[in-house]
Structure formats: structure tokens, C-alpha cells
A and B are shown apart, each in its own frame.
Chain A
Amino acid sequence: MFISFWQLFLTNFRMLYRNWRGLFFNIFLPVFLYLAISKISGNAPGSHTVTYSEYLLPGIIAMTIMQTGIFSLAYWLVDLKARGVIKRLLVTPLSNFEMLGSLIASRLVLMAIQIGLIISIGVWYFKTSIPGSGLAIVLLMLMGGAVFLGIGFAVSSFAKTYEEAAPITTILNLLFTFLGNIFFPTENFPTVLKFIASKLPVTYLAEGMRNNFIQDWTLKQTLPDLLGLGAWLLVVIVILSYTAKLKQD
């Protein structure tokens, strides 16, 4: 099994780094956003001690994980299905586990590269420190990656073409970016919106990381955010168990 998993993983990775448009959106854009917004901003909202670059760093990481998970996997699978590539792979002995496992593993590696780059810029350029639990941060990123990759796969199960996938991913992107505590807190939002925002997976991810990036939170203190992401992962798995299929009969 390993030979095919490894080749598929390599193949997925080759396709990611050879696609310069994808590289632009996956690597350059989040880094540019982080640099540009941090440079022109002062302090974090409602704080005199925390700079905006410190506030923004975990938000940008959360946004990157969210977008890589949803857009990268959703559009990728929709494209492969629509063009008949999945069908070509399904006439081989390739198992669903190998196919999906390699897709997910390659994207987790991409996320690791993206996050490593952004954190490096934060630490070396903006002199950000990370006083909280490193383990909590890693667990948050892994859980967040799994949730959003699952959402991306769910989108590809519903949508047969780009045209069908685009509205779904756009709505999700707007919702998560606007309400996800990425660029600004949602404390002063209307009650209903504040409630919705507090339950979103990207909020658990962003706020969980922020508490460890800015404060010296422990793994135990981060548990509620991890459990929140765990609950979302369960929801995604349940949805996928009903909707996920690679072949059409």
C-alpha cells in the first residue's frame, strides 16, 4: 500500500508547487496580507500592550488553514471529478483510503509550510513571541486542518462543477472571514451575530491560537477550543458519511 500512497502524495505535492496560480493564492497572498496589514496598523483593537501584528498573526494562520482546506480540496476534487480523472483512477485497484489519505496528507504538509513561513515572519520580522503552549498550538492547527479539509471534501460532494462549488465556497469564506475573529474581534457585534461567531470552527481555531500566541495559556486552558473543533470534526464526519462518494452510479 505504501508505494501507491507515497506516489500519490508526491503527485499531489508536485501539482501544488507546479501550479503558480495556486502558489500565489496559497503562499504569497497570506504572507503579503500579513505583512501589509501589520505594517500599517498600530495596536490590537482594545489593547495598548498588544500590537496589531501580534493580534493578526494567529488570525492569518487560521484564515490560511481555512482557505487551504476549503478552496484547495473542494475545487481540486470538483475539477478532477468533472474532467473524469477520478473515474480513470477508480478503474485501478486504488482504494478510497489511499486516494483521500494522500490528498489530505499533501495538504497538511502545504499548511505546515504556509504556517511555518508566516510564523517565521512574525517571530523574526515583527519580533512576536509565543508564550503559550506549543503543543496546544500544534493540536489546534491539526484539528483545524482536519475540519476544514473535511468541509472542503463535503463541498466537493455537493458540487459537480466549478459553477456549483463557487457560491458555496464564497459564502463559507465570507462567513468565516467576517465572523471568525480573524482581523478583528466580534465582541461588539449584535448578540445574534456574536453568538454565531463564537460557535464557528474558525473562531475556535483563531481564538485558541491567539490565547497561546499573546498570553501564556496552557494546554488545559486551550481544551474548550480543542473540544469545539472536535465537535465540528464530528459534525463533518457525519455529513461526509451520508454525502461523500467519489463515483457516480
Chain B
Amino acid sequence: MVKNEKVITVKDLKKEYKDVQALRGVSFEVYRNEIFGILGPNGAGKTTTLEIIEGLKQQTSGSCHVLGLDNLSQSALIKKKIGVQLQSSEYLNYLSLEELLVLFASLYKEKIDPLALLKHVGLEDRAKSVVKSLSGGQKQRFTIATALVHKPEILFLDEPTTGLDPQARREMWDFIKELNKQNITIVMTTHYMEEAEYLCNRVAIMDSGKILKMDSPEDLIASLDRLYKLSFFVEKQMPKDFFAEFKSVENLKEEYPKVTLDLGDVEELPGIVQKLKRTNTEYKFLNLKTAKLEDVYLHLTGHSYSEES
């Protein structure tokens, strides 16, 4: 993607609490009109990073600029230009969706047509409802609507699909892509690998308060030596040196009856299948998968990714 103007610059951000170092020197940039993702397990520091940029917390050291404005001294100005969807959003009781949108717009000194905005997020028929009566997906869409009342330049989404069923998640992905097409820069956190791969132009992989690597999902995956994962089931234990002649095989795991391995050169796959047949090794459920961000995470951290860290 062509790199446009930098809208967010974060340099060596650190955040320390009494006995915890939540951020250990985080640096990245976000470009205009991209969808930038911060991917990592729970406790990686994703939300803390976002909350510092949004002005909810202050960093211990390091700098952060949003649209050229400093997050510490110009936080009030930043807030006028950004929209925020927090990880969990609750609202004032006894107010309808319409009334809440009018309220949020007033906080930005704006007047809006709440029905038009509700229509934009597919909730026009729930204008008189209260938030409690909405489904998970509807609530997330409404939360994003409250962040759009003032037409922000940058939208922050903190785990926008957590708790949603697969269909609602897919719908939310499409919705986020639509927002981005309207020239809104989106910064989002997620702990779902698939979500980051599908949505983001660039992804920063984060763990234990540090960014491990940052690039487009495709380039992160391409940076791996082992791009393919082969797995299959066998009827009997395989000979010890079965794969010795296949030079690109690595990380072989034989957990009978399942066999998994990383294959650096996909051209060797026919040779492996022929040898299985030649040696009368019965096999089934042969599966070849391309590497994913999860493999990138494993390569960077040495441990497998768990969405519940």
C-alpha cells in the first residue's frame, strides 16, 4: 500500500505500574486511511497502548502524537478528532439509542440527525430502544455509531468483535471495511489472528508489552522460512527416518496417529505422498495449509498463541 501522511506517531512508549511494566518501549506509526491492527494475546498491552493514545492514561515515558498533536499537552484537541470504541462500553440507563446519540453529538458540540446515523449502522428500527435490549452485534454497531457522531478522522476500535458469534463477526468485519472506504483511518486491537489477516493493511504483533514485528499480514507470513504445514493421519507408526531425504521438512511431530510437519518447499509434497504409497503406509485426511499469523507469532515468541493468555 502506498504510504500516505502519518497520522499517529508513537515513540518508545513505556507504562509502568507499581510492580508491572505494561509497556516496554512501544514504537509505531499509522498512516492515513489504513486499517492498522495491534494483534496479541490478552495482557499483551494492546488496550493500554490505545488508552494512552486516546488520552485515558498517561505514559510513564515516551512520546505520542496524533495528527501532529501531543497526547499529553493537547489531549482535549485530539479527542475532538478521534472516535473511540472501548473494549466494553456501557451507557447511561433509561435513555433510548436516539437520545444517546444526540447526547454524544452534543459532547462534540455537534447536532446530528440520529435516525440517519442509526440507519448507517443498520439500527434505524431500534431508535426508541435502550441499549440493554440490543444483541451483542447490535450493541457493537451502536457503540461504533456513538464514535462516529462527529465524523472523526481516526477511529479506535478495541477488540470490536469479542463476544460475537461467527456471523456477527463477519458482518462487523464488512462494516469496518466500509467505514475505512469512507476515508476513516482505523486503529484496532484484536486477539483474533484471522481478523487481523482479513482486515488489516498492517499488523503489529505485540506480546508482553513490546511490539515484536510489524508489517502487512502477507509480508509477515512471507518472512517465515516455513510457509506450509502438512498434516495427516496414519494407520501405524512410521519408520524413524522416513522424512530424512526431504530437506525442507522441519518441526516434525509424530503424535500417533497424527503427523504434522512444516514444509519449506511445497514441491516436495508429491515426493512425500509417493513415498507413503510406496511404503504401503496407509494415510488419510492429508491436509496442506499455508502458514498464518499464528505461525509468525510462534516463530517470534517460541510459544504457541493462545487467545486467552
Q: Is the CB of B86 within 8 A of A84?
A: yes
Instruction: Write out, one digit per residue, whether chain A residues 237-248 have a CB within 8 A of any chain B CB (1) or not (0).
Output: 000000000010
Q: Which of B31-39, B95-103, B263-271 contacts A (4 or more CB under 8 A)?
A: B95-103
Q: Which residues of A contact B287 (CB under 8 A)?
A: none
Q: Is the CB of A4 within 8 A of B107?
A: yes
A-B contact count (CB 8 A): 69
CB distance from B268 to the nearest CB of A (A): 53
Q: Is the CB of B56 within 8 A of A11?
A: no
Interface of B is mostly: loop
Interface of A is mostly: helix
The verdict on A91 contacting chain B, using a C-beta distance below 8 Å, is yes
Total interface residues in chain A, CB < 8 Å = 26
Q: Which of A18, A19, A84 interacts with B89 by CB under 8 Å?
A: A84
Q: Which of A1, A8, A18, A93 interacts with B103 by CB under 8 Å?
A: A8
The verdict on A48 contacting chain B, using a C-beta distance below 8 Å, is no
Q: Is the CB of A93 within 8 A of B106?
A: no
User: A93 and B79 in contact (CB under 8 A), knowing A85-B90, A88-B90, A247-B56?
Assistant: yes
Q: Is the CB of A84 within 8 A of B88?
A: yes
Instruction: Write out, one digit per residue, whether chain B residues 73-103 have a CB within 8 A of any chain A CB (1) or not (0).
Output: 0001001101010101111111100010011
The verdict on B243 contacting chain A, using a C-beta distance below 8 Å, is no
The verdict on A89 contacting chain B, using a C-beta distance below 8 Å, is yes
Q: Is the CB of B107 within 8 A of A15?
A: no
User: A3 and B106 in contact (CB under 8 A), knowing A93-B80, A247-B56?
Assistant: yes
Bound Cα distance A87, B106 (Å): 17
Bound Cα distance A87, B50 (Å): 13
Instruction: Write out, one digit per residue, whether chain B residues 142-158 have a CB within 8 A of any chain A CB (1) or not (0).
Output: 00001000000000000
Instruction: Write out, one digit per residue, whether chain A residues 96-133 have a CB within 8 A of any chain B CB (1) or not (0).
Output: 00000000000000000000000000000000000000
29 of the cross-chain contacts (CB-CB < 8 Å) are A1-B109, A3-B109, A4-B106, A7-B102, A7-B103, A7-B106, A7-B107, A8-B103, A8-B106, A11-B103, A15-B95, A18-B94, A19-B94, A80-B92, A84-B89, A84-B90, A87-B56, A88-B86, A88-B89, A89-B107, A90-B55, A91-B82, A91-B84, A93-B76, A93-B79, A93-B80, A93-B107, A93-B109, A94-B107
Q: A residues touching B (Cβ–Cβ < 8 Å)?
A: 1, 3-4, 6-8, 11, 14-15, 18-19, 80, 83-85, 87-95, 247, 249
